[in-house]
């Protein structure tokens, strides 16, 4: 990797006292970047310099510092730094933010997402808008949004062999080289159903706009206390998505399947065996997002799902109807 030139904005040891923050003074903030993206290094350094000018100690996540070749700056492991952090900033796509959520949610660290990826459902601040947005947040002008997470573990012969936390979803699925998987599902100890499908998605409201949505699941508002179960290509066409209270405990048993597996946020995987139980419940902690003034979840849905655009075919039909009606009226 070619070494990056020194930042045009000098960075000191970043030990200045904290700047203003209404609920809790921000003295130390973690920076995490989607470092595979071109241009991310310069933006990260600009954000660090901006934090310094506001009196905030900027610490880079170790892998980020390595990737941008700035190990001379303060850095550390996100989970280890968690108890000492007052804020974390993710510069990247939703995947970057999801990984940071899983690591820092247990420490109640507020997160800010700056979009440097493709879609940006949870990295809501546009790249070009970060200076103003970050300035507003540091001045205490922001809204706090809490989101739930899932925790899952796999029981095999009475022992826990895998565990993970998910911000979006937990997915039990077949291998791409095998046939359908058969699953038995229990909710709070009550048998719900056996089904054969390509897989089953258990999603939070945040995850309802991810994989679950592509499998025709419903969209849940982030403040809805629910979970959605969405089958993936079920054998029985009457097997539809269902929304459950997020207080339930869900147990999914692998009855039969070749090379089954489980994934948390499609980032943490484990192979499964017939007879394994995947136990899923709401995590005992939540993640907090900080949004600048004017944030709206509905605006995010409009922009990301193109709700403001009519399908082309519908527009063409409407125009044809109007033209046809005008022609008829002119002949009367």
Whether 94 is catalytic is yes
Nearest to 45 by CA among 69, 24, 27, 23: 69
Give the whole-angstrom CA distance, residue 48 versus residue 69.
15
213: which residues sit within 8 A by CB, 6+ positions away? Answer: 219
Residue 309 exposed, middle or buried by CB count within 10 Å (0-12, 13-18, 19+): exposed
Strands of the sheet with 242-245, listed across from one edge:
242-245, 226-232, 199-203, 169-173, 261-264, 268-271
- Contact predicate 108/87, CB 8 Å: no
**CA-to-CA separations, 236 to 182, 194, 240, 274, 315, in angstroms, rounded:** 12, 11, 9, 21, 36
Structure tokens at 159: 């022992």
Q: H or E segment at 182?
A: strand 181-187
For helices 130-138 and 40-53, angle between their N-to-C axes, nearest 10 degrees: 30
Which listed residue (94, 124, 169, 276) is catalytic?
Answer: 94
Strand, coil or helix: what is 1? coil
Q: What is the DSSP string of 2-14?
A: PPPPPPSS-----
Which residues carry out catalysis?
94
């Amino acid at each position: 990797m070619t070494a990056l030139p020194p930042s045009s904005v000098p960075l000191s040891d970043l030990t200045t006292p904290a700047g203003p923050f209404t609920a809790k003074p921000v003295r130390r903030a973690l920076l995490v970047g989607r470092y595979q993206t071109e241009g991310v290094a310069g933006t990260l350094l600009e954000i660090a310099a901006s934090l310094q000018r506001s009196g905030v100690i900027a610490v880079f996540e170790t892998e980020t510092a390595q990737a941008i070749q700035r190990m001379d700056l303060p850095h550390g492991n996100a989970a280890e730094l968690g108890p000492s952090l007052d804020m974390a900033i993710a510069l990247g796509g939703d995947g970057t933010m999801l990984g940071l959520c899983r690591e820092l949610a247990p420490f109640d660290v507020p997160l800010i997402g700056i979009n440097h990826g493709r879609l940006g459902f949870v990295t809501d601040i546009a790249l070009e808008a970060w200076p103003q947005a970050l300035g507003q947040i540091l001045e205490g002008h922001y809204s706090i949004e809490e989101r739930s997470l899932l925790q899952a573990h796999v029981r095999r012969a009475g022992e826990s062999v895998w565990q993970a936390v998910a911000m979006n979803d937990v997915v039990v699925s077949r291998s791409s080289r095998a046939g359908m998987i058969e699953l038995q599902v229990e909710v709070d100890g009550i048998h719900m159903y056996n089904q054969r499908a390509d897989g089953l998605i258990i999603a939070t409201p945040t995850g309802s706009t991810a994989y679950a949505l592509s499998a025709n699941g419903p969209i849940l508002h982030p403040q809805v206390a629910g979970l959605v179960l969405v089958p993936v290509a079920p054998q029985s066409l009457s097997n539809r998505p269902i929304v459950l209270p997020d207080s339930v405990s869900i147990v999914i048993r692998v009855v039969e399947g070749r090379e089954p597996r489980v994934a948390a946020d499609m980032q943490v995987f484990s192979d499964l065996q017939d007879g394994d139980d995947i136990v899923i419940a709401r995590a005992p902690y939540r993640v907090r997002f900080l949004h600048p003034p004017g944030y709206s979840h509905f605006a995010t849905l409009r922009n990301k799902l193109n709700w403001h655009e009519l399908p082309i075919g519908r527009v063409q039909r409407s125009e044809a109807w109007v033209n046809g009606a005008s022609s008829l009226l002119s002949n009367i």
